[in-house]
Amino acid sequence: NAGVTQTPKFQVLKTGQSMTLQCAQDMNHEYMSWYRQDPGMGLRLIHYSVGAGITDQGEVPNGYNVSRSTTEDFPLRLLSAAPSQTSVYFCASSYLLDTEAFFGQGTRLTVV
């Protein structure tokens, strides 16, 4: 039972590079979301999706794109990486909005 799987676990990018953070869940959850975690800031919502084909912006969406072509996958794209995007990124999923959210192990991203 894999749960929520994020890849990669660690990544270093140069300013201006693009990349995709992968997130997959095998629990048939409709609801998925991306957060970033920064010291003293807690978790801030980047984007979320309430089902395949439906996405919406969270608190800090600038510089990130998402898509939800399948129920299982919810990739996060950094279009042109900036040092301000250095952070730990977490993907989460839940069956319904009021049920427990399951988190991946996180991706630690450094932009130099």
* Alpha-carbon torsion (37, 43, 44, 48), positive or negative: positive
In the complex, minimum distance from the CB of residue 17 to other proteins, in angstroms, rounded to a whole number? 25
Q: Least distance to other proteins from the beta carbon of 28, Å?
A: 18
* Least distance between other proteins and beta carbon 65 (Å): 18
- The CA distance from 42 to 87, in Å, is 11
Residues that bind other proteins (CB under 8 A): 4, 33, 35, 40-45, 48, 50, 58, 90, 92, 97-98, 100-106
Q: Quick one: 10 or 14, whose CB is closer to other proteins?
A: 10
Nearer to other proteins, 50 or 82 (CB): 50
Which residues have a Cβ under 8 Å from the Cβ of 37 and sit 6 or more positions away? 43, 44, 87, 88, 89, 90, 106
Identity of the residue, 64 or 104, whose beta carbon is nearer to other proteins in the bound complex: 104
- Least Å distance, CB 23 to other proteins, is 11
For other proteins, the closer CB: 11 or 17: 11
